[in-house]
Amino acid sequence: LEEACKECFPQDRESCGSEQWDRCCSQEIECHDIHCRGKVLGDLHPNTKVRVRETFTSDDDAKAEVSKGMSGRVLRVDSEGDAFIKFWMHEHDDEFIKQWVFRSTFWKYLELPERPERMRASKLAACLNTCAYDPARCAFQDLTKSKKKFKAYEKCVKACNMEACNKQAECKELLDAYSSCKQNIAESKVCSPLVKPPS
């Protein structure tokens, strides 16, 4: 989190001001997600099939455009979880590209068609994170003070369809692991505001 969050987030919303608070909230949610998304999606392995859900730019020197709708197969994975993937638009075409994709890019832009439960849990985690930002604004203690805000948050969470995940053992297990990870990260202060060393 940016250094300015240290003075007011998450303990003093008023002194933060709404813009600063929203930035701190967004950064905290993103930080927790970066540390915990792997609990839901796991790691890529050679021969894993992937599908591109949104056009993105590859993470290698080629900076190639990888288009929405393309399929791919992982060729190899390095020690940091980044993957070298062969992508194609139509499986039996001779046209394909081979590009490096960072682990964080995989989480954001690729789907695992052979692992539907992981995808379901990942979408639910993203949906709940959205609710944590809007309408909750990371101020969960304030929800109990405002019936309107509480109802808005409740409606948002309900729309995420958590019930469907809880009925599936694997989906529930993945989401529980993600929630536990976020709790551990919060307690570890890994996502605390950066403090500049004295000059």
Instruction: Dump pLDDT digits (tens) for 92-133.
Output: 778 999 999 999 999 999 999 999 999 999 999 999 999 999
- For residue 136, give the H/E element and its range: none
Query: Tell me: the pLDDT tens digits for 71-91?
Result: 999 999 999 999 999 999 987
Report how far residue 190's alpha carbon sits from residue 184's, in angstroms, rounded to the nearest whole number. 9
The verdict on residue 138 lying in a domain is yes
Residue 196: predicted pLDDT:
60
Percentage of the chain beyond pLDDT 70 is 97
CA atoms 171, 123, 20, 35: torsion sign: positive
Which of these three, 111, 130, 161, is where a domain ends? 111
Query: Tell me: the pLDDT tens digits for 26-37?
Result: 999 999 999 999
Of the candidate ranges 20-34, 168-182, 184-198, the one whose mean pLDDT is the lowest? 184-198
Residue 159: predicted pLDDT:
95
Residue type, 98: K
The verdict on residue 16 lying in a domain is yes
Residues 16 and 61 in one domain: no
- Evaluate if pTM is beyond 0.75: yes
Residues 120 and 182 in one domain: yes
Give the count of domains, the chain. Answer: 2
Residue 199: predicted pLDDT:
53
Joined tokens for residue 152: 């808005």
In the predicted model, what is the mean pLDDT of the chain?
92
Residues 181 and 130 in one domain: yes
Confidence of residue 198 (pLDDT cuts 50, 70, 90): low
Which of these three, 91, 111, 131, is where a domain ends? 111
Residues 77 and 30 in one domain: no
Q: Quote the domain boundaries for residue 176.
A: 3-41+115-188
The verdict on residue 162 lying in a domain is yes
Residue 143: predicted pLDDT:
84
Q: Which residues contact 8 (CB under 8 A, 6 or more apart)?
A: 15, 16, 20, 21, 24
End-to-end CA distance of the chain: 20
Q: Which residues contact 150 (CB under 8 A, 6 or more apart)?
A: 143, 144
Residues 138 and 124 in one domain: yes
The verdict on residue 135 lying in a domain is yes
Q: Which residue has the higher pLDDT, 195 or 65?
A: 65
Residue pair 72/87 in contact (Cβ under 8 Å)? The answer is: yes
Residues 21 and 59 in one domain: no
Report how far residue 68's alpha carbon sits from residue 112's, in angstroms, rounded to the nearest whole number. 14
The verdict on residue 197 lying in a domain is no
Residues 35 and 124 in one domain: yes
